[in-house]
Amino acid sequence: MLFAFVVAVAPNQFAHGGDRGAGLSASSMGPGGTSVQQGEPMKISLKVNGKSLEATLRQGETTRDFVSLLPLTLTMHDLFGRERISQEEHRMAAWSKDELQKMAEADDLHISPFREDGATYGTPTWIWSVAVDGGLYVGGYNGQNSRWYQAAVRQKAGRIRTAGMTKEVAFEAVDGRFNDQIDDAYRVKYRGSPYLAPMIGARARSATVKVMKREPAD
């Protein structure tokens, strides 16, 4: 599903911008350059598969941060039949520097993708993890036959526990040359381990997953 946020303006100042590129434009200004006043609710225009919708956002820090991202276009994916999420990297909540450092240094990450019902967490599985370029990555020793990997790519969400933290997360399969950087991180973190060679082999590389922090659904 293609989900496009088109324009954000104050109430009674709803307007569509001109075509630009993919035909989408956005502004936090009303017609004639009128700015959105602090404390006012904010209306946005949504286009979902070509259908236009209107929504009202309550003012607050989260709303202001969101509006600062406009315009944006997202590809939405079904999440166990009750909600939709976008797995685009820049739309997921970023790990803080402190979180990433703690997870990078720890060797106790347990992953629990959702079960088929989309609500029950699977049995926690201890796996290797590394931090690369601001992201968290894990791999399956048994490759794509790993049960946790199969659940992660199927359900696309779940929970991790590591470094004394419990986080709701989304999962995204990784392939291509970026695996080389992940392998380098494995070599540094797990040097001397008898499991290092298979973990940077083709089987484990085929089961590499990016772990992204997400906010639980209300």
Q: 90 lies in a domain?
A: no
Query: For the whole model, what pTM was predicted?
Result: 0.61
Is residue 121 located within the same domain as residue 208? yes
Sheet containing 125-126, strands listed edge to edge, beginning at the edge strand earlier in sequence: 125-126, 110-113, 157-162, 165-174, 208-213, 135-139, 129-132
Is residue 149 located within the same domain as residue 74? no
Q: 85 lies in a domain?
A: no
129 has which bridge partners? 138
Is residue 43 located within the same domain as residue 121? no
What pLDDT, on the 0 to 100 scale, is given for residue 62? Answer: 60
Domain that holds residue 123: 97-213
Nearest CA among 116, 53, 112, 55 for reference residue 81? 116
What pLDDT, on the 0 to 100 scale, is given for residue 36? Answer: 45
Mean pLDDT of the chain: 78
What pLDDT, on the 0 to 100 scale, is given for residue 49? Answer: 76
Alpha-carbon gap, residue 15 to 32, rounded angstroms:
10
Is residue 26 located within the same domain as residue 58? yes
The CATH number of whichever domain residue 206 belongs to comes to 2.30.110.10
CA angle 134, 135, 137 (to 5 degrees): 145
Is residue 69 located within the same domain as residue 127? no
Neighbours of 84 (CB within 10 A): 14
Is residue 74 located within the same domain as residue 147? no
Burial 36-73 (b: 16+ CB within 10 A, else e): beeeeebbbbebeeeeeeeeeeeeeeeeeebbeebbbe
Q: How far does CA 7 lie from the centroid of its chain?
A: 23
Q: 88 lies in a domain?
A: no
Among 48, 79, 110, where does a domain finish?
79
Among 25, 53, 79, where does a domain finish?
79
Is residue 101 located within the same domain as residue 74? no
What pLDDT, on the 0 to 100 scale, is given for residue 66? Answer: 66
Alpha-carbon gap, residue 186 to 85, rounded angstroms:
30
Count up the domains in the chain and report the number: 2
Q: 92 lies in a domain?
A: no
Is residue 57 located within the same domain as residue 123? no
DSSP 3-state of 173: strand
Flag residues of the chain having pLDDT under 70. 1-40, 60-69, 71-72, 75, 77-92, 215-218
Q: 71 lies in a domain?
A: yes
Q: Is the dihedral of CA 140, 141, 145, 151 positive or negative?
A: negative
Among 46, 79, 112, where does a domain finish?
79
Q: 89 lies in a domain?
A: no
Q: 143 lies in a domain?
A: yes
Q: 218 lies in a domain?
A: no
Is residue 18 located within the same domain as residue 70? yes
Is residue 191 located within the same domain as residue 108? yes
What pLDDT, on the 0 to 100 scale, is given for residue 194? Answer: 96
Is residue 101 located within the same domain as residue 148? yes
Is residue 9 located within the same domain as residue 117? no
